[in-house]
Structure 1
């Protein structure tokens, strides 16, 4: 679920702030999920960047809060740089702080994206748009075991730029159904071939709202990652 904060910056610009965190995932013996710190940094950055882009923001800076140890910093930074390179944003500054006074038994990383956007009037959902889930909700070790089911960042970026796309929303730990209802302020039951209640971990999938007449374009762009989402009262 989106945690974006938008603040006034100037007469025509707004500040866009998004964040993500990771706990007990990494290289320490007591971590619940074992993986490299670079992977942790990559996925934390991915989530926050997706939320910034979904809000119409341009990434301006990355701030990391490293609770693991001094040695983890460069690995986290490397993971962040992979995401920025993927989006051709290698000029973006990366800063932050490390907890070096006390040692922790488990890994921890917090990450904040600071972005800006031109002020635009947002449109409400009118009930005429189509909805879909792009990617599959995955959590923990599933993210590493099923990489082909994770919605790629390049696809998210491409869909952000399509005129037929009305809005996108990365899905978080509360699952697709909760994210959709909060997003649309509707209470419909939903029909889809994927699990709508399951956590999507580090935004392994995202919601998309689009002009119904352009559904074929969305399906072609997303391929096998496209999962139609139907509010029950609209189902045939």
Structure 2
């Protein structure tokens, strides 16, 4: 579960992964580079959800010294994917004690730069909720970060909200700050893993542009406050 923090104009976001990587006892086998890329993906999407852009990255590596460069490579790849330079990065590695399973956390610090309109938006889900091996096996169903970034910059969408382990229904309630009844053509309770899908808010006049921009895997989200 994610927890973002705002201090003045600064926004702090973070994501972590455990037992996912290249160690023999990891629960999910995945390249270390990909593990770090997805952790960076979630922290980055949380920055955008707060209307901010990351300026500093902290990498917490519990896997060992050998994994550091692979993790950095994965984080860098996420920023290359959207066509911007990776912010300055610092962090540390566990080198005193060998660990049997992989562990990583990525924290981003950014400053709020965009307004976050809340009223009068139409909401969609982009991507499908995936977790574990499905993230690698069904990658074509994952929301593309580059498309989200372009849509924000072009004014096609006003807001983005990543879906985490609690699922679409829970994230919808968090987004709106109240318990909601939601409906869509997707499982609303299953985990979204590393933000494989996101909620996107658009002005009604942009609803068709959204479908054209994102293409497949865009679903309408209907919300209602229980009586």
Alpha-carbon separation, structure 2, partners of 1:191 and 1:91: 37
Find the partner of 2:217 among 182, 204, 225: 225
Pick from 113, 117, 124 the counterpart of residue 118 of structure 2. Answer: 124
**Deviation readout 1:48-106 (Å, 9 max, x if unpaired):** 01111222212212110000011000100100110122233325212100011111111
Q: Is residue 2–residue 170 contact of structure 1 (8 Å, CA) maintained in 2? A: no
RMSD: 1.7
C-alpha contact (below 8 Å) 2:121/2:204 kept by paired residues: yes
Given that residues 50 and 116 in structure 2 are in contact (C-alpha distance below 8 angstroms), is that contact kept between their aligned partners in structure 1?
Answer: no
**Relative to structure 1, is the Cα distance of residues 34 and 56 closer, same or farther in structure 2, using a 3 angstrom cutoff?**
same
Q: Which whole-Å CA distance do the structure 2 matches of 1:219 and 1:33 have between them?
A: 33
Tell me if the contact between 2:162 and 2:198 (Cα under 8 Å) persists in the aligned partners.
Answer: yes
Q: Which among 151, 157, 162 is matched to residue 165 of structure 1? A: 157
Per-residue CA deviation, residues 31-56 of structure 1 (Å, 9 max, x unaligned), is: 00001100111111111011112222
1:198 aligns with 2:181: no
Determine if contact 2:51/2:116 at 8 Å carries over to the other structure. no
CA distance, structure 2, for counterparts of residue 4 and residue 159 of structure 1 = 23
Determine if contact 2:172/2:180 at 8 Å carries over to the other structure.
Answer: no
- Normalising by structure 2, we get a TM-score of 0.93
Q: CA deviation at 1:15?
A: 1.2
Gaps of 5+ in 2: none
- Counterpart of 1:65 in 2: which secondary structure? strand
| Matching of residues 10-29 of structure 1 within 5 Å | 14-29=9-24
Q: 1:168 to 1:84 in 2, by over 3 A?
A: same
Query: Is the CA contact 1:50–1:156 (under 8 Å) kept in the aligned structure 2?
Result: no
Cα distance in 2 between the residues matched to 1:59 and 1:133: 24
Residues 80-95 of structure 1 mapped to structure 2, 5 A cutoff: 80-90=75-85, 92-95=87-90
Question: Any runs of at least 4 consecutive aligned residues in structure 1 with deviations exceeding 3 A, and if so which?
Answer: 120-125
